[in-house]
Structure 1
């Protein structure tokens, strides 16, 4: 190590070297504004989506240089979101959603030549052929989220429309994601009036299992959770197994989502919620959620699950399994405002398979308030930070893989990082002014 330091030239790098390194990092190759960026779990693949509807995939090689792997027209216009499925799913899959309201899955062909890995036979002016594609007949999709469970080999897909309707699908064959099963759909809020600016976002809980306090309170170990930002509201939904009776008399278990917490009933947002993020690392016994708002604030919330500490239940696997079938009657600490009494939101628990399907498809259940059915737990929400590092509308927010660092971007063109302190609060740690770096680049 010492000899290496002595061999380094004492003079700073030349201007040419600085420019080469800078261009290498920022020359994405798009001819239009880049709207979406996604890295895979290993950090060695990056996908970018532009306003012109094109996707470019880059691979990081052993020499540290990023090189283009594929480039194709994926949508007829602006690309809103991109997401990689885990690298454990082979071949690699990339999901995209465009302004046309179409959700698409792109499957890589590792044996194909560079430039035709994800869109075989496509041309630069015509959209490539995806492995899977869907769209809503009622209203275009505006946001999506994917979650894959390596143990059960199940993949879940959540899609949110511009009318505030949430649709959740399930697939148990990750290698051939061409067939999906609808497990639930409902409205997360009132339909926005025409002519107003829209803002919708949905994100699955990235943790493999619910936090141990939620399990202690009675949440099923395979419970799904997601956070939804619809216009000015932010809500958390969680799933439970609902046993219904099929028309031929055989009981069947189906997933049903219910409202577990209404964050905006605790802390109102004074603007459109542009983005929402769920932090990994729920081994601490609670969950952390952050929101990016048009009012210029990044808010961080601590989501806890209260439970009875004197009920005599243990953490044994058998006891946890028993608790999944025991009734729980939690009370909503901060019930959302609703003009309809909660009891009118829920159909009877025992119903036929046909009536249950009709109830879900028609959005019956309103806000899906908790009704004390088995497997339902209610979370409490506390605002732990209100960060104004941008002082302009905030557009994006996300956590690192440990849930200890939070990043945000806004209208000021800055990337701001916040770090969680040992006391649990959040403080600004660094700031990157991307526009200033560009202006300082030698010509």
Structure 2
């Protein structure tokens, strides 16, 4: 009889165990994603298959569908918000293809995302003609109903797209396209991650400093660098008419890493008045940084809606943003498309462009509980708990202290229960 796995909580006096769901994959599980409600889970394996589980009212997780999604291992998964119908699941494979999978709610279990032959019914996909994609992030604006996709390639090139038709990736327009870091050398070990700011709007101090309410914010890690980008408003002339556009600028760069950065996370809950970024590093440390947008109290502004949100938007109710004229999304067509295809945009550096806001970085904590390379890091939905997983297979959880620093609060580790030998009776 094989050993029975259990889970041990080292912070408790007595180890507690709970049931482990058998995922059913025939190879290593590389990616996992929960939906916003926490009642649906998707797992992606090295064998290229995705399995979706639903949590029923009796608390039991049951398999909803299983299909072949990619030719190789699955790197990342993300559910789009449940307000988008039908439910959409995004995936990225090792071959560099970004795909969307739409659920058919009327289909029987086992055929929600896949066809009878076991292959997935992806609605659309994107792939790079230069270098394969290695990380992605999706953000949906509930007010404007626009969906944004950030795709980071293996050469450090970042593409940000937007679209109104969530499933039609081929109709997405380009917001921006630029290089985030120096192209790595051939044969060099690499790791790239990109994550959108999960908060609906920038924090109130960033708004006070001049960040637009609808600014897009990204954190990008590549090799040993971590950079934060935000969009500024700019204008462009098209056929003699001025159009309002957005362009990413380098808000700040985190230079505290000397080893490969494996993962990066942006904390939800920016009601604190500042943002927080966490990184998982090859040197065995989890680092937490505070991002501020300092401003002067002598600039003549107050905390009124006019000063915080900006004069141009003071009379605009947040729920009426979709009635405003849309920015030019720079849809690639004609001559512009050929220019975009001919080469990559240069690396963004710190400049004093109009609309660019000054940012500062402060290291809050260096957490070395793993004492081994750290592979994953993420915050909970409120930004109150930080979790990380290392080479030793343990999940570490941290909480923020009153002084702003972070400290370990609990530890979860897998263990094998030893089976006692049956007693032998001699008569």
Structure 1 residues 230, 89: closer, same or farther in 2, change over 3 A? Answer: same
**Offset at residue 433 of structure 1 (A):** 0.8
Residue number in structure 2 paired with 1:381: 361
Instruction: Provide the residue aligned with 1:185 in structure 2.
Output: 177
Per the alignment, residue 342 of structure 1 pairs with none
Cα pair 1:185 1:361 within 8 Å, conserved: no
Structure that is richer in helix per residue: 1
Residue 95 (structure 1) aligns with: 90
TM-score by length of 1: 0.83
Question: Relative to structure 1, is the Cα distance of residues 62 and 409 closer, same or farther in structure 2, using a 3 angstrom cutoff?
Answer: same
Partner of 1:309: 297
Moved over 3 A (4+): 21-24, 174-178, 315-325, 353-365, 438-443
Contact 2:207 2:309 in 1 (8 A): no
Alignment RMSD (CA, Å)? 2.6
Q: Does 1:256 align with 2:247?
A: yes
Structure 1 spans left out of the alignment, 5+ residues? 1-14, 326-352
Per-residue CA deviations over 1:294-333 (Å, capped at 9, x if unaligned) read 00000000000011111121333333454679xxxxxxxx
1:283 equivalent among 271, 280, 301: 271
- Cα distance, 1:404 vs structure 2: 1.1
CA distance in 2, matches of 1:48, 1:128: 14
The alpha-carbon deviation at position 384 of structure 1 amounts to 0.5
- Deviation per CA, 1:399-418, whole angstroms, max 9, x where unpaired? 01111110000101100001
Q: Conserved in 1, the CA contact under 8 Å of 2:50 and 2:66?
A: yes
In the superposition, the TM-score normalised over structure 2's length comes to: 0.86
Equivalent position of 1:10 in the other structure: none
Higher relative contact order (CA 8 A, sep 6+): 2
> Conserved in 2, the CA contact under 8 Å of 1:258 and 1:368?
yes
Question: Is the alpha carbon distance of 1:114 and 1:359 closer, same or farther for their aligned partners in structure 2, counting shifts above 3 Å?
Answer: closer
Q: Cα distance 1:286–1:107, how it changes in 2: closer, same or farther (>3 A)?
A: same
1:371 to 352, 374, 382: 352
Deviation at 1:51? 0.3
> Could you report, residue by residue, the CA deviation over 1:131-179 in whole angstroms, capped at 9, with x for unpaired residues?
1101000000000000011111111000000000000000123365552
Distance 1:390 1:33, change over 3 A: same
Q: Distance in 2 between matches of 1:366 and 1:28?
A: 42
> Match for 1:209 among 184, 198, 201?
201
Q: Which residue of 2 aligns with 1:7?
A: none
Q: Distance in 1 between matches of 2:406 and 2:342?
A: 41
Matches within 5 A, 1:24-35: 24-35=19-30
Pick aligned residue for 1:433 from 403, 409, 413: 413
Whether contact under 8 Å (2:176, 2:248) holds in the other structure is: yes
Aligned residue in 1 for 2:230: 238
Q: 1:396 to 1:222 in 2, by over 3 A?
A: same
1:354 CA drift (Å) = 7.1
Deviations 1:198-222 (A, max 9, x none): 1000000000000111111111110
Distance in 2, Cα, partners of 1:402 & 1:60:
22
Decide whether aligned partners of structure 1 residues 191 and 281 sit closer, same or farther in structure 2, where only a CA change above 3 A counts. same
Measure, in 1, the Cα distance between the counterparts of 2:96 and 2:419.
Answer: 38
- CA deviation vs aligned residue, 1:23-61 (integer Å, no higher than 9, x gap): 952311111000001000100000000000000000000
Q: SS in structure 2 opposite 1:25?
A: coil
Q: Name the counterpart of 2:65.
A: 70
Q: How far apart are the structure 2 equivalents of 1:252 and 1:208?
A: 25
Aligned in 2, Cα 1:314/1:388: closer, same or farther, shift over 3 Å? same
Distance in 2 (CA, whole Å) between partners of 1:169 and 1:381 is 28
Tell me the distance in 2 between the aligned counterparts of 1:240 and 1:356: 23
The 2-side partners of 1:312 and 1:226 are apart by 30
Asked if structure 2 preserves the Cα contact closer than 8 Å seen for 1:232 and 1:273, the reply is yes
Secondary structure of 1:222's partner? coil
Q: 1:321 to 1:428 in 2, by over 3 A?
A: closer
On the 8 A contact 1:205/1:278 being kept in 2, the answer is: yes
> 1:140 maps to what in 2?
132
Q: Please give the secondary structure, in 2, of the residue aligned with 1:416.
A: strand
State the partner residue of 2:214.
222
Asked if structure 2 preserves the Cα contact closer than 8 Å seen for 1:203 and 1:228, the reply is: yes
Is the CA contact 1:218–1:324 (under 8 Å) kept in the aligned structure 2? no
Q: What is the Cα deviation at residue 378 of structure 1? A: 2.1
1:155–1:170: 8 Å Cα contact kept in structure 2?
yes
CA contact 2:30–2:75 (8 Å) conserved in 1 = yes
Distance 1:310 1:365, change over 3 A: farther
Q: CA shift at 1:80, angstroms?
A: 0.4
Aligned length in residues: 391
